[in-house]
Structure 1
Protein backbone atom coordinates (compact mmCIF):
# COMPACT_ATOMS: atom_id res chain seq x y z
CA UNK A 1 0.00 0.00 0.00
CA UNK A 2 1.21 3.49 -0.88
CA UNK A 3 1.91 5.36 2.40
CA UNK A 4 0.28 8.46 0.94
CA UNK A 5 -2.98 6.56 0.48
CA UNK A 6 -2.78 5.28 4.04
CA UNK A 7 -2.16 8.83 5.30
CA UNK A 8 -5.28 10.08 3.56
CA UNK A 9 -7.49 7.38 5.05
CA UNK A 10 -6.09 7.82 8.54
CA UNK A 11 -6.50 11.58 8.22
CA UNK A 12 -10.09 11.23 7.03
CA UNK A 13 -10.90 8.94 9.95
CA UNK A 14 -9.29 11.29 12.45
CA UNK A 15 -11.04 14.35 11.06
CA UNK A 16 -14.49 12.72 10.99
CA UNK A 17 -14.09 11.42 14.55
CA UNK A 18 -12.90 14.84 15.74
CA UNK A 19 -15.78 16.59 14.00
CA UNK A 20 -18.30 14.18 15.54
CA UNK A 21 -16.91 14.84 19.01
CA UNK A 22 -16.92 18.60 18.52
CA UNK A 23 -20.51 18.52 17.31
CA UNK A 24 -21.63 16.47 20.31
CA UNK A 25 -19.65 18.73 22.66
CA UNK A 26 -21.34 21.81 21.20
CA UNK A 27 -24.73 20.17 21.76
CA UNK A 28 -23.80 19.34 25.36
CA UNK A 29 -22.69 22.91 26.00
CA UNK A 30 -25.95 24.20 24.55
CA UNK A 31 -27.91 21.91 26.88
CA UNK A 32 -29.01 19.42 24.27
CA UNK A 33 -29.62 15.75 25.10
CA UNK A 34 -26.91 13.19 25.65
CA UNK A 35 -28.60 9.81 25.28
CA UNK A 36 -31.78 10.62 27.30
CA UNK A 37 -31.67 13.76 29.44
CA UNK A 38 -35.01 15.41 30.04
CA UNK A 39 -33.76 17.93 32.58
CA UNK A 40 -30.16 18.92 31.74
CA UNK A 41 -28.00 19.78 34.77
CA UNK A 42 -25.48 22.62 34.98
CA UNK A 43 -22.73 23.07 32.40
CA UNK A 44 -19.90 21.62 34.51
CA UNK A 45 -21.95 18.54 35.30
CA UNK A 46 -22.88 18.14 31.63
CA UNK A 47 -19.22 18.37 30.61
CA UNK A 48 -18.20 15.88 33.28
CA UNK A 49 -20.84 13.44 32.11
CA UNK A 50 -19.87 13.99 28.48
CA UNK A 51 -16.37 12.60 29.02
CA UNK A 52 -17.78 9.64 30.98
CA UNK A 53 -19.49 8.14 27.95
CA UNK A 54 -17.69 5.13 26.46
CA UNK A 55 -18.85 6.38 23.08
CA UNK A 56 -16.99 9.66 23.57
CA UNK A 57 -13.85 7.97 24.85
CA UNK A 58 -13.73 5.42 22.03
CA UNK A 59 -14.26 8.10 19.38
CA UNK A 60 -11.58 10.27 20.99
CA UNK A 61 -9.15 7.35 20.96
CA UNK A 62 -9.89 6.71 17.29
CA UNK A 63 -9.30 10.39 16.53
CA UNK A 64 -5.96 10.55 18.34
CA UNK A 65 -4.58 7.27 16.96
CA UNK A 66 -5.76 8.04 13.42
CA UNK A 67 -4.20 11.50 13.41
CA UNK A 68 -0.92 10.04 14.69
CA UNK A 69 -0.92 7.46 11.91
CA UNK A 70 -1.79 10.17 9.38
CA UNK A 71 1.61 11.72 10.09
CA UNK A 72 3.38 8.37 9.69
CA UNK A 73 1.43 5.23 8.66
CA UNK A 74 4.40 3.07 9.69
CA UNK A 75 4.50 4.48 13.22
CA UNK A 76 4.97 1.78 15.84
CA UNK A 77 5.73 1.27 19.51
CA UNK A 78 4.27 -0.55 22.54
CA UNK A 79 2.00 2.33 23.57
CA UNK A 80 0.68 2.84 20.05
CA UNK A 81 -0.03 -0.86 19.65
CA UNK A 82 -2.12 -0.83 22.83
CA UNK A 83 -3.91 2.34 21.74
CA UNK A 84 -4.53 0.93 18.26
CA UNK A 85 -6.14 -2.29 19.44
CA UNK A 86 -8.12 -0.38 22.08
CA UNK A 87 -9.40 2.09 19.48
CA UNK A 88 -10.42 -0.57 16.96
CA UNK A 89 -12.07 -2.83 19.52
CA UNK A 90 -13.59 0.04 21.51
CA UNK A 91 -15.23 1.67 18.53
CA UNK A 92 -16.57 -1.73 17.39
CA UNK A 93 -18.16 -2.33 20.79
CA UNK A 94 -19.56 1.21 20.72
CA UNK A 95 -21.39 0.43 17.49
CA UNK A 96 -22.58 -3.03 18.57
CA UNK A 97 -23.87 -2.00 22.01
CA UNK A 98 -25.55 1.09 20.60
CA UNK A 99 -27.31 -0.92 17.90
CA UNK A 100 -28.46 -3.71 20.22
CA UNK A 101 -29.23 -1.90 23.49
CA UNK A 102 -29.41 1.86 23.09
CA UNK A 103 -30.83 2.68 19.70
CA UNK A 104 -34.38 1.58 20.64
CA UNK A 105 -34.31 4.08 23.53
CA UNK A 106 -33.49 7.09 21.38
CA UNK A 107 -35.74 9.53 19.59
CA UNK A 108 -33.48 12.18 18.09
CA UNK A 109 -33.74 14.70 15.30
CA UNK A 110 -31.78 17.59 13.85
CA UNK A 111 -28.19 17.98 14.98
CA UNK A 112 -28.69 15.46 17.79
CA UNK A 113 -29.48 12.86 15.16
CA UNK A 114 -26.44 13.83 13.09
CA UNK A 115 -24.15 13.55 16.11
CA UNK A 116 -25.60 10.16 16.96
CA UNK A 117 -25.09 8.84 13.42
CA UNK A 118 -21.53 10.14 13.26
CA UNK A 119 -20.46 8.80 16.66
CA UNK A 120 -22.18 5.42 16.51
CA UNK A 121 -22.23 4.56 12.81
CA UNK A 122 -20.02 6.67 10.56
CA UNK A 123 -16.89 6.67 12.72
CA UNK A 124 -17.06 2.93 13.56
CA UNK A 125 -17.50 1.98 9.91
CA UNK A 126 -14.75 4.34 8.76
CA UNK A 127 -12.36 3.28 11.54
CA UNK A 128 -12.81 -0.43 10.82
CA UNK A 129 -12.55 0.04 7.06
CA UNK A 130 -9.37 2.07 7.44
CA UNK A 131 -7.84 -0.49 9.78
CA UNK A 132 -8.68 -3.35 7.41
CA UNK A 133 -7.46 -1.49 4.33
CA UNK A 134 -4.48 0.46 5.67
CA UNK A 135 -3.34 -1.25 8.85
CA UNK A 136 -0.72 -0.81 10.08
CA UNK A 137 -0.18 -4.52 10.55
CA UNK A 138 0.92 -6.90 11.81
CA UNK A 139 0.74 -5.03 15.11
CA UNK A 140 -1.67 -6.85 17.45
CA UNK A 141 -0.22 -9.27 20.01
CA UNK A 142 -1.52 -10.72 23.26
CA UNK A 143 0.57 -8.34 25.35
CA UNK A 144 -1.02 -5.32 23.65
CA UNK A 145 -4.47 -6.85 23.99
CA UNK A 146 -3.90 -7.50 27.69
CA UNK A 147 -2.88 -3.90 28.35
CA UNK A 148 -5.79 -2.62 26.24
CA UNK A 149 -8.20 -4.28 28.68
CA UNK A 150 -7.09 -1.85 31.38
CA UNK A 151 -9.19 0.89 29.76
CA UNK A 152 -12.65 -0.78 29.64
CA UNK A 153 -12.22 -2.41 33.05
CA UNK A 154 -11.13 0.90 34.59
CA UNK A 155 -14.01 2.66 32.87
CA UNK A 156 -16.54 0.20 34.28
CA UNK A 157 -15.09 0.53 37.80
CA UNK A 158 -15.12 4.32 37.57
CA UNK A 159 -18.72 4.44 36.30
CA UNK A 160 -19.89 2.26 39.17
CA UNK A 161 -18.16 4.59 41.64
CA UNK A 162 -19.86 7.57 39.97
CA UNK A 163 -23.19 5.77 40.31
CA UNK A 164 -22.61 5.19 44.02
CA UNK A 165 -21.57 8.82 44.55
CA UNK A 166 -24.10 10.64 42.38
CA UNK A 167 -26.81 8.19 41.31
CA UNK A 168 -26.01 8.81 37.62
CA UNK A 169 -24.86 6.33 34.98
CA UNK A 170 -24.29 6.99 31.28
CA UNK A 171 -26.14 3.86 30.13
CA UNK A 172 -29.31 2.23 31.49
CA UNK A 173 -27.88 -1.29 31.51
CA UNK A 174 -25.38 -0.16 34.17
CA UNK A 175 -28.03 1.24 36.49
CA UNK A 176 -28.76 -1.04 39.47
CA UNK A 177 -32.04 0.82 40.00
CA UNK A 178 -33.26 -0.69 36.72
CA UNK A 179 -31.26 -3.89 36.44
CA UNK A 180 -30.39 -4.74 40.03
CA UNK A 181 -26.78 -5.22 41.05
CA UNK A 182 -26.80 -8.78 39.74
CA UNK A 183 -27.85 -7.48 36.33
CA UNK A 184 -25.16 -4.81 36.40
CA UNK A 185 -22.49 -7.39 37.26
CA UNK A 186 -23.66 -9.57 34.39
CA UNK A 187 -23.55 -6.55 32.05
CA UNK A 188 -20.00 -5.69 33.19
CA UNK A 189 -18.82 -9.25 32.65
CA UNK A 190 -20.52 -9.35 29.26
CA UNK A 191 -18.89 -6.10 28.12
CA UNK A 192 -15.46 -7.30 29.31
CA UNK A 193 -15.91 -10.66 27.57
CA UNK A 194 -17.09 -8.92 24.39
CA UNK A 195 -14.04 -6.65 24.43
CA UNK A 196 -11.72 -9.63 24.79
CA UNK A 197 -13.52 -11.63 22.10
CA UNK A 198 -13.43 -8.77 19.59
CA UNK A 199 -9.76 -8.15 20.41
CA UNK A 200 -8.93 -11.81 19.84
CA UNK A 201 -10.80 -11.70 16.54
CA UNK A 202 -8.95 -8.56 15.53
CA UNK A 203 -5.64 -10.27 16.30
CA UNK A 204 -6.58 -13.18 14.04
CA UNK A 205 -7.47 -10.79 11.22
CA UNK A 206 -4.29 -8.79 11.85
CA UNK A 207 -2.17 -11.93 11.43
CA UNK A 208 -3.92 -13.29 8.35
CA UNK A 209 -4.21 -10.19 6.19
CA UNK A 210 -1.27 -8.91 4.18
CA UNK A 211 1.21 -6.67 5.98
CA UNK A 212 0.52 -2.94 5.43
CA UNK A 213 1.56 -0.35 4.66
Structure 2
Protein backbone atom coordinates (compact mmCIF):
# COMPACT_ATOMS: atom_id res chain seq x y z
CA UNK A 1 0.00 0.00 0.00
CA UNK A 2 1.31 3.41 -0.95
CA UNK A 3 1.99 5.93 1.80
CA UNK A 4 -0.23 9.04 2.15
CA UNK A 5 2.66 11.17 0.87
CA UNK A 6 3.05 8.97 -2.22
CA UNK A 7 -0.68 9.18 -2.92
CA UNK A 8 -0.51 12.94 -2.46
CA UNK A 9 2.29 13.21 -5.02
CA UNK A 10 0.34 11.13 -7.53
CA UNK A 11 -2.81 13.19 -7.00
CA UNK A 12 -1.20 16.59 -7.47
CA UNK A 13 0.76 15.36 -10.49
CA UNK A 14 -2.50 14.22 -12.12
CA UNK A 15 -4.21 17.52 -11.36
CA UNK A 16 -1.25 19.54 -12.65
CA UNK A 17 -1.23 17.50 -15.86
CA UNK A 18 -4.95 18.14 -16.42
CA UNK A 19 -5.00 21.94 -16.59
CA UNK A 20 -2.86 22.74 -19.68
CA UNK A 21 -4.38 20.18 -22.10
CA UNK A 22 -7.89 21.11 -20.99
CA UNK A 23 -7.17 24.78 -21.64
CA UNK A 24 -5.59 23.97 -25.01
CA UNK A 25 -8.61 21.95 -26.08
CA UNK A 26 -10.90 24.82 -25.17
CA UNK A 27 -8.76 27.27 -27.16
CA UNK A 28 -8.58 25.30 -30.42
CA UNK A 29 -12.00 23.62 -30.30
CA UNK A 30 -14.04 24.29 -33.44
CA UNK A 31 -11.27 26.40 -34.99
CA UNK A 32 -10.05 26.16 -38.57
CA UNK A 33 -6.59 24.68 -39.18
CA UNK A 34 -4.98 28.09 -39.65
CA UNK A 35 -6.78 29.59 -36.67
CA UNK A 36 -5.85 26.58 -34.53
CA UNK A 37 -2.19 27.08 -35.47
CA UNK A 38 -2.38 30.73 -34.39
CA UNK A 39 -4.16 29.75 -31.17
CA UNK A 40 -1.47 27.13 -30.51
CA UNK A 41 1.25 29.77 -30.64
CA UNK A 42 -0.81 31.99 -28.37
CA UNK A 43 -1.37 29.08 -25.99
CA UNK A 44 2.36 28.64 -25.47
CA UNK A 45 2.74 32.42 -25.11
CA UNK A 46 1.00 32.54 -21.73
CA UNK A 47 3.31 32.54 -18.72
CA UNK A 48 0.59 30.69 -16.81
CA UNK A 49 0.64 27.82 -19.30
CA UNK A 50 4.42 27.56 -19.45
CA UNK A 51 4.66 27.61 -15.66
CA UNK A 52 1.95 24.99 -15.24
CA UNK A 53 3.61 22.75 -17.84
CA UNK A 54 6.91 23.06 -15.98
CA UNK A 55 5.21 22.24 -12.68
CA UNK A 56 3.42 19.25 -14.20
CA UNK A 57 6.68 17.92 -15.62
CA UNK A 58 8.52 18.46 -12.34
CA UNK A 59 5.82 16.64 -10.37
CA UNK A 60 5.42 13.79 -12.85
CA UNK A 61 9.02 12.96 -13.78
CA UNK A 62 10.05 11.65 -10.32
CA UNK A 63 7.04 9.30 -10.42
CA UNK A 64 7.32 7.90 -13.94
CA UNK A 65 11.06 8.25 -14.63
CA UNK A 66 12.78 8.56 -11.23
CA UNK A 67 16.22 7.71 -12.64
CA UNK A 68 16.14 10.39 -15.33
CA UNK A 69 18.26 13.53 -15.21
CA UNK A 70 15.18 15.71 -15.32
CA UNK A 71 13.66 13.92 -12.32
CA UNK A 72 16.88 14.39 -10.36
CA UNK A 73 16.90 18.07 -11.32
CA UNK A 74 13.22 18.51 -10.42
CA UNK A 75 13.75 17.08 -6.93
CA UNK A 76 16.46 19.58 -6.02
CA UNK A 77 15.54 22.51 -3.79
CA UNK A 78 16.81 25.11 -6.27
CA UNK A 79 14.52 24.22 -9.18
CA UNK A 80 11.61 23.61 -6.81
CA UNK A 81 12.11 27.08 -5.32
CA UNK A 82 12.14 28.61 -8.80
CA UNK A 83 8.98 26.80 -9.91
CA UNK A 84 7.25 27.70 -6.65
CA UNK A 85 8.17 31.33 -7.33
CA UNK A 86 6.67 31.25 -10.82
CA UNK A 87 3.45 29.64 -9.59
CA UNK A 88 3.09 31.94 -6.60
CA UNK A 89 3.43 35.07 -8.73
CA UNK A 90 1.15 33.62 -11.40
CA UNK A 91 -1.57 33.07 -8.81
CA UNK A 92 -1.15 36.44 -7.11
CA UNK A 93 -1.10 38.43 -10.36
CA UNK A 94 -4.13 36.59 -11.68
CA UNK A 95 -6.26 36.95 -8.58
CA UNK A 96 -5.31 40.58 -7.92
CA UNK A 97 -5.13 41.99 -11.46
CA UNK A 98 -6.85 39.72 -13.98
CA UNK A 99 -9.61 37.60 -12.42
CA UNK A 100 -12.05 40.51 -12.21
CA UNK A 101 -11.78 41.14 -15.95
CA UNK A 102 -13.59 37.98 -17.06
CA UNK A 103 -16.09 35.41 -15.82
CA UNK A 104 -15.34 31.93 -17.20
CA UNK A 105 -18.10 29.32 -17.15
CA UNK A 106 -18.28 25.53 -17.41
CA UNK A 107 -15.07 23.79 -18.40
CA UNK A 108 -13.34 27.15 -18.78
CA UNK A 109 -13.99 27.77 -15.12
CA UNK A 110 -12.54 24.35 -14.28
CA UNK A 111 -9.44 24.99 -16.36
CA UNK A 112 -9.04 28.48 -14.96
CA UNK A 113 -9.25 27.21 -11.38
CA UNK A 114 -6.73 24.43 -11.95
CA UNK A 115 -4.19 26.68 -13.67
CA UNK A 116 -4.39 29.69 -11.39
CA UNK A 117 -5.38 28.25 -8.03
CA UNK A 118 -5.23 24.48 -7.51
CA UNK A 119 -1.86 23.72 -9.12
CA UNK A 120 -0.07 26.70 -7.52
CA UNK A 121 -1.43 25.85 -4.06
CA UNK A 122 -0.72 22.13 -4.51
CA UNK A 123 2.87 22.74 -5.59
CA UNK A 124 3.51 25.16 -2.74
CA UNK A 125 2.08 22.62 -0.29
CA UNK A 126 4.32 19.95 -1.81
CA UNK A 127 7.35 22.18 -1.30
CA UNK A 128 6.26 22.77 2.29
CA UNK A 129 5.67 19.06 2.96
CA UNK A 130 8.64 17.54 1.14
CA UNK A 131 11.11 20.35 0.67
CA UNK A 132 13.78 19.29 -1.80
CA UNK A 133 17.21 17.75 -2.03
CA UNK A 134 19.63 20.02 -0.23
CA UNK A 135 19.39 23.73 0.55
CA UNK A 136 19.11 25.93 -2.52
CA UNK A 137 21.95 28.31 -3.28
CA UNK A 138 21.24 32.03 -3.11
CA UNK A 139 22.30 32.33 -6.76
CA UNK A 140 19.11 30.47 -7.66
CA UNK A 141 17.25 33.78 -7.23
CA UNK A 142 19.24 35.25 -10.12
CA UNK A 143 18.88 32.11 -12.23
CA UNK A 144 15.13 32.04 -11.60
CA UNK A 145 14.80 35.45 -13.27
CA UNK A 146 16.06 34.11 -16.61
CA UNK A 147 12.81 32.34 -17.50
CA UNK A 148 10.53 35.37 -16.90
CA UNK A 149 13.06 37.57 -18.73
CA UNK A 150 13.02 35.30 -21.79
CA UNK A 151 9.23 35.24 -21.63
CA UNK A 152 9.19 39.04 -21.59
CA UNK A 153 11.46 39.26 -24.63
CA UNK A 154 9.33 36.73 -26.53
CA UNK A 155 6.15 38.60 -25.60
CA UNK A 156 7.50 41.90 -26.92
CA UNK A 157 8.81 40.34 -30.15
CA UNK A 158 5.67 38.30 -30.76
CA UNK A 159 3.48 41.29 -29.92
CA UNK A 160 5.40 43.56 -32.29
CA UNK A 161 4.72 41.12 -35.13
CA UNK A 162 1.10 40.21 -34.34
CA UNK A 163 -0.19 43.02 -32.09
CA UNK A 164 -1.34 40.28 -29.68
CA UNK A 165 -0.31 40.32 -26.03
CA UNK A 166 -1.21 37.69 -23.42
CA UNK A 167 -1.73 40.15 -20.57
CA UNK A 168 -3.07 43.74 -20.44
CA UNK A 169 -0.10 45.00 -18.43
CA UNK A 170 2.22 43.88 -21.24
CA UNK A 171 0.17 45.40 -24.06
CA UNK A 172 2.59 47.81 -25.72
CA UNK A 173 -0.05 48.98 -28.18
CA UNK A 174 -2.15 50.39 -25.33
CA UNK A 175 0.43 51.22 -22.67
CA UNK A 176 3.56 52.03 -24.65
CA UNK A 177 7.06 50.62 -24.24
CA UNK A 178 8.15 52.80 -21.28
CA UNK A 179 5.29 51.66 -19.04
CA UNK A 180 5.53 48.03 -20.13
CA UNK A 181 9.29 47.94 -19.60
CA UNK A 182 8.85 49.51 -16.16
CA UNK A 183 6.29 46.83 -15.31
CA UNK A 184 8.74 44.15 -16.44
CA UNK A 185 11.44 45.60 -14.19
CA UNK A 186 9.05 45.70 -11.25
CA UNK A 187 8.00 42.12 -11.83
CA UNK A 188 11.63 41.03 -12.13
CA UNK A 189 12.25 42.47 -8.67
CA UNK A 190 9.17 40.63 -7.40
CA UNK A 191 10.41 37.35 -8.88
CA UNK A 192 13.80 37.80 -7.22
CA UNK A 193 12.32 38.66 -3.81
CA UNK A 194 9.87 35.75 -3.81
CA UNK A 195 12.62 33.39 -4.95
CA UNK A 196 14.81 34.57 -2.07
CA UNK A 197 12.00 33.73 0.35
CA UNK A 198 11.70 30.17 -0.96
CA UNK A 199 15.47 29.77 -0.97
CA UNK A 200 15.68 30.95 2.63
CA UNK A 201 12.95 28.49 3.63
CA UNK A 202 14.81 25.63 1.94
CA UNK A 203 18.00 26.51 3.82
CA UNK A 204 16.16 26.71 7.15
CA UNK A 205 14.54 23.37 6.43
CA UNK A 206 17.92 21.81 5.60
CA UNK A 207 19.31 22.97 8.96
CA UNK A 208 16.30 21.73 10.90
CA UNK A 209 16.34 18.35 9.15
CA UNK A 210 19.98 17.87 8.04
CA UNK A 211 19.52 14.14 7.57
CA UNK A 212 17.34 14.85 4.52
CA UNK A 213 19.82 17.23 2.93
CA UNK A 214 21.97 16.61 -0.09
CA UNK A 215 24.80 18.75 -1.46
CA UNK A 216 23.82 22.30 -2.35
CA UNK A 217 21.65 22.41 -5.46
CA UNK A 218 22.28 24.77 -8.34
**Cα offsets for 1:184-204 (capped at 9, x unmatched):** 011101111111011000011
Distance 1:93 1:21 in 2: 18
Tell me if 1:154 matches 2:150.
Answer: yes
Distance 1:112 1:68 in 2: 27
Task: Give the aligned partner of residue 44 of structure 1.
Answer: 37
Retained in 2: the 8 A contact 1:78–1:144? no
Task: Give the aligned partner of residue 123 of structure 1.
Answer: 119
Distance 2:101 2:166 in 1: 13
Unaligned runs of at least 5 residues, structure 2: 214-218
Q: What is the aligned residue count?
A: 202
Matches within 5 A, 1:134-173: 134-173=130-169
Distance 1:174 1:15 in 2: 31
Unaligned runs of at least 5 residues, structure 1: 33-40
Matches within 5 A, 1:1-213: 4-30=3-29, 42-70=35-63, 72=66, 76-77=72-73, 82-209=78-205, 210-211=208-209, 212=212
Retained in 2: the 8 A contact 1:92–1:124? yes
Distance 1:194 1:167 in 2: 27
Retained in 1: the 8 A contact 2:155–2:165? yes
Q: CA deviation at 1:177?
A: 2.3
**Cα offsets for 1:108-130 (capped at 9, x unmatched):** 11111111011000111111001
Change in Cα spacing, 1:150 to 1:79, as seen in structure 2 (3 Å) is: farther
TM superposition score normalised by structure 2: 0.83
Change in Cα spacing, 1:78 to 1:65, as seen in structure 2 (3 Å) is: closer
Distance 2:50 2:95 in 1: 18
Change in Cα spacing, 1:28 to 1:207, as seen in structure 2 (3 Å) is: same
Structure label with greater radius of gyration: 2
